[in-house]
Every structure is written in structure tokens, then in C-alpha cells.
Structure 1
Amino acid sequence: ERNEKLPFHVQTPSLSVRVLGTKFNFRDYPNDEEAVVSLLEGKVALGNRLRAEAEMILLPDEQVTLDKAEGCMKKESTKVKNSLGWTSGRLFFDEMPLPEVVKILERSYDVHIIFATDSLRNLRFYGSFSRDEQGINEILQALGKTGKVRYKQGSKEITLY
């Protein structure tokens, strides 16, 4: 509920988000390589807590990605509705690094995925899936159809090579 006398803040070790009346999506799991804030409506102010950097204002259909290793924020235009799809069971990857895709798949399908080939960590993927309609096997098959990734599924884990 809006209360101008009591501003809403979201703070993680990586980012500080000051909400200025809005609808937004914020993803910053501790083991993720990137923190992402996507704005649907209103305005938010972002403060980088990893490196001294000017506060960044985000407007609708803009997204900021913070590379945790480098400590730098990057703003870009995007269709934020796509990044909010997770609230209705959609998985949307928009040039997302494969390690981030893997973390989302692990959380969404309660599986464990390992990399047999480290060079896969540099790949980025596009895709849109529905958790209700597509299982982990269908998403793995889609990754395999790119010709860049193969997988082997065991009883307890999935290996990408």
C-alpha cells in the first residue's frame, strides 16, 4: 500500500531498491551471478552496494542487471511483462547466461544440474516455457536443439556437456 511517509526499500547484499510507487520484479538469489530489477509501472531508484556508483533511476520497460563479479550495473530496454511471467508459471529466458537458466530450472523443477564442460557457462539462451505445460525434459530437449548443449539425465541429476 502506498505511503509516502514510509518509503518501501528492498535491500540485498548486492543492490538497494528504493521504490517510488511501482510494479517491479527483483531477482537476487545469493548464488546467482546477476541481480536483475525489471520495472513494469512507476519508478524505482537503484543503489549499487558492491561498488560506488551513482544511483540509477528505472522507468517502465527498463531493466537493470548487476553483474556481481564485476560489480557494475547495466540498464537496458526490455518487455518487462516477459520477466514477470514466473508469477503465472512462465519461464522466460532473454539472452540469459546458461548458469542462470540452470538455477531457474533447478528451483522450478527441483532437480540438480551440473556442468561437465565449463565452456557452456559462457552461452546465453532465449526461450519461453510454461511450467504447467512443459516438464524439464522438454526444456532440455529445446536446449539440445540449439546444437550447443547436450545432456544426460540420471536418477538424481542432469549433466550438461
Structure 2
Amino acid sequence: MTDQRFTELLAKQLAGDISADESIELKSLLENNSASNREYQLLQNYLQSETEDEENIDLVFERIKTRIQPPARTPLKVVKRKNFLWLKVAALVAILVGAVLLYNREVLFFSNSGHLVLVKVQTKAADTRTVTLGDGSVVKINSSSRFRYPKKFSGDNRNVYLSGEAFFDVKKDPQHPFIVHTEKMDVQVLGTAFNVKIYPNDDFAETTLIRGKVVVTLKDDKKAQFTLQPNDKFTLAEGKGQVNQTESGGVEETAWTSDELVFKNKNFDQVSRLFERHYDVKIFFKDPDLKKVEFTAHFTKENISEALDVLKFIENFNYSIKGKNVYIFR
């Protein structure tokens, strides 16, 4: 099934239809499967070169066709034309995307045993979801996030994929480490509770440990590993990682799981992104200097107007709301 998933993701990449989550997943598959990585490199070299290693590339084509060819069908024939890059791309996309369509039910949704391969959960702004994984682990997914997980874990590791924010309560299983794959870092645990935050529009990523023990590994530097103890928070910003004790014991970082907002000494620009996800609005600053103003607050049931009114007591500013757009000005 890993080979079939690799074929599907490769097809999407060649067709230019691969999502950020799927790019992370493809990168992880390449890092953990030397055979797929060799095939990927050969295909890349084939597409980019004017002359090809015919013998090696033919073997790659045959392996791919073997994986995607349904039983009792006439084998697909690949026609290669030298010096025409677009024909190479067209041939590969036709074969691989065709394979995705042929295996639409089996590969995209079901394995041969009838189990779902990957389930995708995507939350909108002002929305959270809670899912229970096949091993009994519970994951609460924050707003504006994407989370992928297998219906049934198999292999040595329990691999899941996140873009956004989620709180994990992982069942302990020393024989099968639980790994959260993100664009910039991987978080590996055996059994623990922790929060991971890595939104695409934030200039930082962080992991906060509530209990247990986790190891954070950077994507760009596998040797850079950070071990967290309870109440430690790992922060990655500008390519540099550091571990510090949380000032609130994790309350600030996990308040969202109780539908609350807690922040301390956050500038208005950072607070605005919290508000956008929590209240499903878009905030615009007419005065850029206001972005630098820092706030400390704790909101429970307040709506967007009530929250902004509280902040107005701290700093002199005005706001207007038109539909889902909020404008901040002096």
C-alpha cells in the first residue's frame, strides 16, 4: 500500500495538483523508503535530462506499471520521445493520474483488506473537531487546520500528518512510536499529551508538552533534536529551535481546547491571527503601527465585538465590522 500511495502522490505532484499536506507526506515516504526514493530520483533525472539511461528508466516504468495495473487488463505501453520534455511529462502524468483513477476506491479510500488508508480532517475557522484514532489515541484539531491519519495503523510507527494546530493524547505503545509529521518538524512520542501548532501563515512553530516525553526533529536538519519534559515548550522561528518552560504550565497553549483564548504579551498582529481563526473573520490594520501593540487577555464566551472592546481599554484604537471583515484604526 505504501508503493500505491507513493504512486498516487507522485502523480499529483507531476500534475501540479498536490496539496501542502500531501507534499509533506510524499517527502516523508521518500525519506523512509529507499526504493521509492531511488525511483523518484531516476524519474526526476529522466524528466530534466536530454539523454536518458534507457535501461534504468525502463525498469522504473515497469515497476510503476506493475503496481498500478489492475488484473486482467492489457499492460500499459509507455512511449518515450527524446528531447521533448513535455512529452515525457505527459506520458508520466497520463500513466500515474490514470492509475489514481483506476484505483480510486482501492487506493484513495480502501486497502485490499477493506480498511481506509488515510482519512483527512479539515476544519474551518471557528470550528474544532475531535477524532479517536485506531489505537485509541485522541486528537482535538483546532480551527483552520488539516489532519491526516490512517484508519488502522500498520508498520513500525504510527504516522500522522498535521498542518495547523492539534492537541494529542496518545496511547502508550513502546513498540510503535507515534510521529506527528509537519512541514518543518517531526514530533515523536511513545505515550503522552502535547500540543502542536504550525500554521502556514505564522512565522513560528511550536510544540508544548503537558505530560510524558517527546522528541522534536527538524526537517531541514535531522541531527537537530530537542527532547521535551512536562511543561516544556519548543519554539522554531527563523530556522532556530529552542526549549523553554511554559509560564502558564501549558494553560495558554491549550486554552483553545476548552473554546477559550488566552495570550500574554502578544502583539496585535499575533492576536489578530488568533481572532481570525477563533471568530471566522478577516482583520485589516489601517494603521500598521497598531500591529506592534502588546496585549494580555483571557476570553471565554465573548464575541469578536466584546473581545475588541476589552482590548480598547488597554490601548486607544477604533474598529469597524462589515460582514466578516474587521478594520482596525486610530
Q: Which residue of 2 aligns with 1:87?
A: 257
Which gives a bigger RCO, structure 1 or 2 (Cα 8 Å, sep 6+)?
A: 1
Conserved 8 A contact 2:233-2:245: yes
Q: Deviations over 1:126-157 (max 9, x none)?
A: 21111xx2111111112222225432222331
Q: Secondary structure at the match of 1:103?
A: helix
Q: Following the alignment from structure 1 to structure 2, what is the Cα–Cα distance between the partners of residues 53 and 147?
A: 44
What secondary structure does 1:119 align onto? helix
The unaligned stretches of length 5 or more in structure 1 are: none
TM-score (norm 1): 0.85
- The structural deviation recorded for 1:51 is 5.6
Q: Is the 8 A contact 1:40 1:81 kept in 2?
A: no
SS of the aligned residue for 1:93 comes to strand
Residue in structure 1 matched with residue 226 of structure 2 by the alignment? 56
CA distance in 2, matches of 1:13, 1:94: 27
State the match for 2:292 in structure 1. 122
What are structure 2's unaligned runs of at least 5 residues? 1-170
Q: Distance in 1 between matches of 2:241 and 2:318?
A: 32
Describe the shift of the 1:13–1:135 C-alpha distance in structure 2 as closer, same or farther (beyond 3 A).
same
Deviation string, structure 1 residues 49-98 (Cα, Å, up to 9, x no partner): 2567621111111112222xx11123221121332121111111122343
Corresponding letter in the other structure for 2:283? I
Corresponding residue SS for 2:212: strand
2:209 alignment counterpart: 39
CA radius of gyration, larger in? 2
Contact 1:38-1:64 at 8 Å conserved across structures = yes
Aligned residues: 157
Correspondence for 2:303 among 135, 152, 155: 135
Residues 10-25 of structure 1: matches in 2 within 5 Å?
Answer: 10-25=180-195
Indicate conservation of the 8 Å contact 1:51/1:72, yes or no.
Answer: no
Q: Match for 2:241: what amino acid?
A: M
Shift of the 123–17 alpha-carbon distance from structure 1 to 2, 3 Å rule, reads: farther
Deviates more, 1:13-22 or 1:149-158: 149-158
Q: CA deviation at 1:125?
A: 2.5
Equivalent residue, structure 2, for 1:160: 328
Q: Contact conserved, 1:20 with 1:45, CA < 8 A, in 2?
A: no
Alignment partner, residue 76 of structure 1: 244
Native 8 Å contact 1:39 1:58 kept in 2: yes
Alignment deviations for residues 4-33 of structure 1 (CA, whole Å, 9 cap, x no partner): 121111111122111142111111121222
Larger proportion of helix: 2
Task: Name the structure where strand makes up a greater proportion of residues.
Answer: 1
Percent of aligned pairs sharing the same letter = 32
